[in-house]
Amino acid sequence: MNKKEFKEGILIAFGEIFLKSEGVRKLFQKKLEKNICFFLDKKGIDFKIDPSRERIFISTKEVDKAMPEIRKIFGIVWFAKSSYFPEIGLEEFSTFIDENYEKWIKKDETFGIRFRMEKNILKEDRDDIIKRIAKNIKRKVDLTNPQIEIFVEIRREGTFLYFKKQKGAGGFPIGSSGRILSLLSGGIDSPVASYLIAKRGAENVWLNFHSVPLTSKQGIEKIKELAKVFLNYQPNLKVYFVPFYKAQLEIKEKAPLKYRILLYRRLMLRIAEEIAERENCQAIVTGDSLGQVASQTLPNINIIQDAIDMPLLRPLIGQDKEEIIELARTIGTFEISIEPYEDCCSVFAPKPQTAAGKLETIKELEKSIESVKIIKEAIEASEIIEN
């Protein structure tokens, strides 16, 4: 068969996207195609996209270079190095199999054909089609546990041939679920929370509270390094660095030690809510895990959340620390997150903290704090970087 009659590249399948209504599916698929183009262009890969209703085929001679990038793009359930035959019939395809199977299957190996066909493409029965494709393959068949699997998909736009599926990042394409504002502390949890919410298609804007000049700039530098890693998953990232030390000094002066973290967190959320509204974000995300620290008990979660009207999302709420660490290692943030730094809350509110605060007490303490002024000044003094 002439090389011009088929293309080499990567076949991409999307999972949950296909369950959407036709209009929404098309919109999500367009976002996915846009994200694929962005990340492949970023690596200087020469490619062409051939989209269809259930699949995307990327025609490229740089498959090995493209595969690691495809693996990280949200919205892809699996992908495979593939050959694409856009215009040939079943007879020509069977001939191609006959001419090439010895390259794929050794004499002592077993094989099995995994076949899929769109409805109303061919009149022949699927079993008859499989027999035609495999009739001249002189190797032992094992459909239960073959050593070599040959995947064949016959679709309206052509036929795809591949041998091994690789797991994709899953979820929805970035940008398909709106924007969120994610609070980043510099620790292990918050980058993982950002990753998980991005996996559901929400574009991240990051916000970091710091206590410079009362602490070092180490925490800020960590956030910048974490942002570089996050750009492997999201095309662009805007980060707010908000000074919080004035608020902390005032709260330290006017509130008992055991309530300070709750007061800090409520004020942080009020600042975050204003920034989120400016950025057209529809929710705020934190790295809270139920019961992990005093501020993350159910009573205190309710006290903190009471400070704002905007939805507060906690992707890690049911995960333990080991699960969070494992995912942090997987996405590449763990080594940066464990570098020592001065967290703005812990510096100004050492233990012990109450695990079961009372909302009435917190609201009474807040009456002596100039919250409106603090929020306005903190936002005005923010540093913003865009990657």
Regions of the chain where pLDDT drops below 50: none
Q: Which CATH number fits domain 179-386: 3.40.50.10540, 3.40.50.300, 3.40.50.620, 3.60.20.10?
A: 3.40.50.620
**What tens digit of pLDDT does each residue of 227-258 get?**
999 999 999 999 999 999 888 888 888 888 88
Would you state the pLDDT for residue 68? 96
Q: Using DSSP, state whether 44 is helix, strand or coil.
A: coil
Q: Using DSSP, state whether 218 is helix, strand or coil.
A: helix
Domain regions of the chain by residue span: 3-167, 179-386
Which CATH architecture is the domain 3-167 placed in? 2-Layer Sandwich (3.30)
Would you state the pLDDT for residue 22? 82
Spatial distance between the Cα atoms of 176 and 173, rounded to a whole number of angstroms: 6
* pTM for the whole structure: 0.90
Would you state the pLDDT for residue 299? 79
Spatial distance between the Cα atoms of 300 and 286, rounded to a whole number of angstroms: 14
Q: How does DSSP classify residue 200?
A: B
**H/E element holding 11?**
strand 7-13
